[in-house]
Amino acid sequence: MNALKDRVALITAAGSGMGRAAAELFAAQGAHVYVTDVRAVAAKEVAAGIVADGNSASGHGLDVTDLSAIRGLLDEIEREHGVLHVLYNHAGSPGPSGLATSEQEWDQLIDLNLKSAYYATAYAVDLLKAADGKGSVLFTASVSALKGSPFSPLYSMAKGGVTALVRGLARALAPAGIRCNAICPASVQTPMLRGFLDRNNEGLSDEQMAEFIRQTTPLGRPARPEEIAQAALFLASDQSSFVTGVALPVDGGYTA
């Protein structure tokens, strides 16, 4: 129950869904968690719940496309702790479907899914080095990075870029004892799931969405956020001390 005892973790987009589940689990495993979300109220509510459960967290509003805001939060972590053990770059969005994508939409998707994670990691390197070989950087990619998405080639491109970035960072940061890995979920039961599956606003019913998942996922259901969080805990902790550069599918057999 203490896989992250006395460690410091920063999780982006942790106000709901997978990010929230990871924040709660990391805190329950002994970490002090910086819970961040573009919705400051949501981040603070999650952090307050963690503290009410007797664990350690603080909530912060953070727009990850604002690079100066990322720097500011990392400066705060340096002042308060002088170290960062886990950086979980979870923030992302499926973005538009098809090929009729405006340049603004293209830029927004890349900024949110790829650029923010690159710069957050680059800015955090010195704090991660201070973890003395315990530094772990996680990224949320997608099965769309491993298996092309016919619905959104742009999303496949962005998340494929995340997995390529992970491989490069893993090699670049290994000498400093910093591991870098990605999680590639398929369908997950979060508030974003309906919008992801119903890209063209066709008004899919719950049964239609359930049938699509049954047809595409051998285990026949979406993942629970807690199941993704367990994979994140494995990659964040010493349990995966010799694992780096991996894009791990947590997908119920989707990519099989």
For residue 59, what are the β-bridge partners? 35
Q: Amino acid identity, residue 54?
A: G
Three-state DSSP at 205 gives coil
Cα 131 to Cα 159: distance, rounded to the nearest angstrom: 28
Catalytic residue among 34, 118, 119, 155: 155
Looking at the chain, which runs of residues are DSSP E strands? Answer: 8-11, 32-37, 56-61, 86-89, 135-140, 178-185, 247-250
Torsions phi, psi of 124, nearest 5?
-90, -5
Q: 254 an active-site residue?
A: no
Cα 68 to Cα 252: distance, rounded to the nearest angstrom: 38
Cα 17 to Cα 140: distance, rounded to the nearest angstrom: 13
Work out the angle between the directed axes of helices 67-80 and 116-129 (0-180°, nearest 10).
Answer: 20
Token pair of 89 as six digits? 């770059």
Give the strand order in the sheet containing 135-140.
56-61, 32-37, 8-11, 86-89, 135-140, 178-185, 247-250
Torsions phi, psi of 86, nearest 5?
-135, 125
Q: What residues are annotated to the active site?
A: 155
